[in-house]
């Protein structure tokens, strides 16, 4: 059984984000990239299925700063094959990425058809769409997103999924394989892999680079301006030690009759 995992890099918001001089993009000086959190859950889900079904896991990611570390970390966790898609324009956006992937992947040996494709169903930079469903539509695969539990019936060619709704309600669905699933969560948090294992993976190498095909016919959205959001309002900030502010808050609560 073959499972494909799509991962991508997004700006790391632990760092302070600044607007570049052109007023419409992110300033690159201190910008770092981190793997999309939901994609980590997708990889974890794939690895759990790998153990249960003796499947192979192929990880695909578009080129971006720091993506090599992410791919090697996936290898250290147990991924079997690593593919990096190069040649996508910077700031490509979801539509361009999905179209390009749909055009590129069929041409890579042994990638498609995959029984199951997993990818995070959202990320913080999806301005013009979510890659997972866009790719599903382009490849003609059935799609379900916001999934946090996946079980596979390999013989029956089906996947049993739990999808998240508001208020903790879960919807149970059945998908015919092959299918693409948009992952929101997983039954376990992403596993830890020690630095020594990642370093061993880096030393062993083995990321296949594939040139992006296609992607034409769609253009990313043009951002006219970018700025830190002016809030409708801002909190009144309370200063002092934890003890001091606690007293101030207690005063406020008392004044409002909340105590």
Partner 1 sequence: MAGNVWVVAEQWKGSVSDATYEALALGRDLAEGLGARLEAVLLGQGVRALADSLGRADAVLYVDHPALAEGTGEQTSRALAALAAERSPALILVPTTNVSWDLLGLLPARLGVPLVNFCRQATASGGAVEFSSLLYGGKMAATLTAGDGTVVVAVLPGVRPAEAGKGGPPPQVEEVAVAFEAGDGVRWLEYEEPEAGDVDITQQEFLVAVGRGISNEANVEVAEELAAALGGAVCGSRPVIDQGWLPLVRQVGKSGVTVKPRLYVAAGISGAPEHVEGMKDAELIVAVNTDPGAPIFSVAHYGIVEDATDVLEALAEAVSKRKG
Partner 2 sequence: MPDPTTSSLFGVPGWVFLWLFALVALALFGWRAYRLVKAVSRGRAEPRWDHLPRRLWTMVANVGGQRRMFDNPGIGLAHLVIFWTFVFYAFSFAWNLLRGLFPLLPIPYADEVAWVSFPMELLTVAAIVAMAGAAVRRYFFTPPRLERSRDATLILILISVLLVTFLVGQGAKVVAEDGVASWSPIGGLIGGWLDGLSASAAADLFLAMWWLHMVTVLAFLAYLLYSKHLHLLASPFSVFAASLETGGMPPPSEGAAQLEEFTWRELYNGLACAECGRCDRACPAFASGEVLSPKDLIHEIKLAVLDAARGDGHRDLISTVGAEAIWACTTCRACMDRCPVFNEHIPLIVQMRRQLMIRGEVGTGVQDMLTGLTRYGNSFGQSPRNRAKWARDLGFEVKDARREPVDYLWFVGDYASFDPRVQEITRAVARLFHHAGLDFGILAEGEQNAGNDVRRLGEEGLFEMLRDKNLAALASAEYRAIVTTDPHTYHVLKNEYGLNGRVVHYTEVLGDLVASGRLPVSPNGGGRVTYHDPCYLGRYGGIYEPPRRLLRALGLQVAEMPRNRSSAFCCGAGGGRIWMEDAPGGAERPAESRVREAAALKGVGTMVVACPKDLVMFRDALKTTGLEGALAVRDIVELVEDAIGATQRSEA
Cβ distance to partner 2 smaller for residue 140 or 194: 194
Q: Tokens 């889900």 label which residue?
A: 45
CB of 196 vs partner 2, minimal distance in Å: 3
Neighbours of 118 (CB within 10 A): 30
Choose between 41 and 130: whose C-beta lies nearer to partner 2. 41
Cα gap 172→156, rounded to integer Å: 17
Closest separation in Å from C-beta 39 to partner 1: 14
Query: Which of residues 19, 108, 151, 202 is near partner 1 by CB under 8 A?
Result: 19
Going by C-beta distance under 8 Å and a sequence separation of 6 or more, which residues neighbour residue 90? none
- Whether the link from the prior residue into 113 is cis, omega within 30° of 0, is yes
Taking CB under 8 A as the criterion, the residue among 51, 54, 172, 192 binding partner 1 is: 172
Name which of partner 2, partner 1, none residue 170 binds, using a CB cut-off of 5 to 8 Å depending on partner kind. Answer: partner 1
Question: Which stretch in 55-63, 67-75, 176-184, 201-209 sits in contact with partner 1 by CB under 8 A?
Answer: 176-184
d(CA 55, CA 216): 34
The footprint of partner 1 on residues 101-160 (CB under 8 A) is 121, 124-130, 132-134, 136-138, 141-146
Q: Is 54 in the site for partner 1 (CB under 8 A)?
A: no
Assign 3-class secondary structure to 72-88: HHHHHHCCCEEEEEECC
């Amino acid at each position: 059984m073959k499972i494909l995992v799509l991962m991508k890099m997004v700006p790391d918001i632990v760092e302070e984000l600044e607007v570049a001089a052109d007023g419409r993009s992110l300033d690159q000086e201190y910008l770092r990239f981190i793997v999309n959190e939901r994609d980590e859950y997708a990889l974890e889900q794939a690895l759990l299925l790998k153990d249960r079904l003796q499947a192979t896991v192929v990880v695909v990611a578009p080129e971006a700063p720091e993506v090599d570390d992410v791919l090697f970390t996936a290898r250290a966790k147990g991924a079997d094959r690593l593919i990096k898609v190069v040649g996508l324009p910077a700031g490509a956006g979801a539509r361009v990425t999905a179209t390009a992937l749909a055009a590129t992947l069929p041409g890579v040996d042994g990638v498609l058809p995959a029984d199951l494709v997993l990818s995070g169903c959202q990320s913080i930079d999806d301005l013009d769409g979510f890659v997972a469903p866009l790719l599903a539509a382009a490849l003609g695969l059935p799609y379900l997103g916001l999934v946090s539990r996946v079980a596979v019936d390999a013989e029956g060619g089906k996947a049993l999924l739990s999808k998240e709704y508001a208020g903790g309600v879960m919807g149970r669905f059945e998908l015919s394989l092959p299918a693409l699933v948009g992952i929101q969560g997983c039954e376990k948090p992403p596993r830890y892999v020690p630095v020594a294992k990642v370093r061993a993976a880096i030393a062993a190498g083995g990321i296949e680079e594939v040139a992006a095909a296609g992607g034409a016919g769609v253009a990313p959205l043009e951002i006219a301006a970018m700025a830190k959001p002016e809030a409708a309002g801002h909190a009144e900030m309370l200063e002092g030690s934890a003890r001091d502010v606690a007293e101030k808050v207690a005063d406020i609560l008392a004044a409002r009759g909340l105590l």
